[in-house]
Amino acid sequence: MPAPKRTAAAILERLLQGESPEERLSALRARPPDQEPLPPPVPDGSDHTRDGLEKRRAHLREQGIAIEQLARAGPEIAPDILAGNIENLVGFAGLPVGVIGPLRINGTQAHGDFYVPLATTEGALVASYHRGALVMSQAGGASVICTAESVSRAPCFVFETMYDAAGFLAWVIPRYDSLQDTVAQTSRHCKINDVRTVLFGKELFLVFEYTTGDAAGQNMVTLATDAICRKLVDESPVKPSRWYVEGNMSGDKKATMLSFVFGRGKKVVAEAMIPRELVREVLHTEPAEIVRYWKTSFLGGVQSGSIGVQGHVANALTAMFIACGQDAACVSEASVGVTHMDLTAGGDLYACLMLPNLIVGTVGGGTHLPTARECLEMIDCYGEGKARKFAEICCAVALGGEISIGAAMAGGRFAHAHAKYGRKPPNEKTE
Active site residues: 122, 327, 418
C-beta of residue 323 within 8 angstroms of C-beta of residue 97? yes
Cα–Cα distance measured from residue 305 to residue 309, given in angstroms and rounded to the nearest whole number: 9
Contact 334, 317 (CB under 8 A): yes
Structural element, H or E, at residue 292: helix 287-303
Peptide bond into 102 cis (omega under 30): yes
- CA torsion sign for 185, 189, 195, 198 is negative
Under 8 Å between Cβ of 289 and 274: no
Q: How many Å apart are CA 349 and CA 340, to the nearest integer?
A: 11
Between vectors from CA 424 to CA 422 and to CA 426, what angle results, nearest 5°?
Answer: 140
Cα 126 to Cα 39: distance, rounded to the nearest angstrom: 42
- Closest C-alpha to 322, from 93, 77, 72: 93
- DSSP for 319-340? HHHHHTT--GGGHHHHT--EEE
Q: Is 216 exposed, middle or buried (0-12, 13-18, 19+ CB in 10 A)?
A: buried
Q: How many CB atoms lie within 10 A of CB 9?
A: 11
* Element of type H or E holding 208: strand 203-211
DSSP run (H or E) holding 358 = strand 349-358
What single-letter amino acid sits at 331? V
